[in-house]
A = this chain, B = another copy of it.
Amino acid sequence: MSLIGFEHHNHASCIESAVAAAEGYCAENGLQFTPVRQRVLELLLAQHRAMGAYEILDVLREEGLGAQPPVAYRALDFLVRHGFAHRVEKLNAFTACAHPGETHSPVFLICRACNTVAEAQAQGATGMLASAARDSGFRVDRAVVEAEGVCARCREGHAG
C-alpha cells in the first residue's frame, strides 16, 4: 500500500505540478481547464483533507469566481469525472486525487481527529472484493472503500 497524505513533502511544488499535469492532460484531450476548475483543484490540493462543496463555494465567492452552488458542483463534477479528484462518500466531500493519470480504485483513510484524508492504494482489497462479487455474478463498476479511524500522528499525540 502506498500512501500519500500523512508524510511531509514540498507542498507548493506538489500543487504546482499537479495543476500542470491536469492542464497538460486537458490540453491533450480537448478539455477546457477553465479558471474555476483550476482554482477548485488548487483548493483541494492545498489540503490533505476533504472539502465540502459549499466550503469551496465560499472561497470562489470571495474571489469572484462564482456565487451559486452549481458553480462549485460543476467544477467538482468535472474534476471527478476526469480523475483529478475523488468524492469521499462518507463525508459528502471532495479531495484531490493523489495518483492522477493512473487508473485506480482509491482507498481513503479518514482521520477523525485531524480530518486528514489519505488516499491509499490497496489493490488487494479491491481486487478481492471484485473477484468475490464476480463469483456471485455481480459486476462491480465502482468500488467505494473508506476507512474511518485515527492516524498515527494523532494517536501519538494523545496516547490514543
Q: Which residues of A contact B (CB under 8 A)?
A: 1, 3, 6, 89-90, 92, 107, 109, 111-112, 118, 120, 122, 124-126, 128-130, 132-133, 135-153, 155, 160
Contact = CB atoms under 8 A, between A and B. Distances in A.
B118 A138 contact: yes
A107 B111 CA distance: 21
A136 B89 contact: no
The 4 closest A-B pairs by CB, nearest first: A137-B152, A1-B132, A140-B149, A89-B89
Copies in the complex: 2
Given A89-B89, A132-B1, A142 B149 contact: yes
A3 B136 contact: yes
A3 B126 CA distance: 17
Contacts of A3: 136
A144 B139 contact: no
A93 to B, nearest CB: 12
Nearest to A145: B145
Contacts of A143: 145-148
A107 B136 contact: no
A139 B155 contact: yes
Contacts of A133: 1, 109, 120, 147, 149
Given A6-B138, A107-B129, 8 more contacts: A6-B137, A109-B138, A109-B140, A129-B145, A133-B149, A143-B146, A143-B147, A143-B148
A160 to B, nearest CB: 8
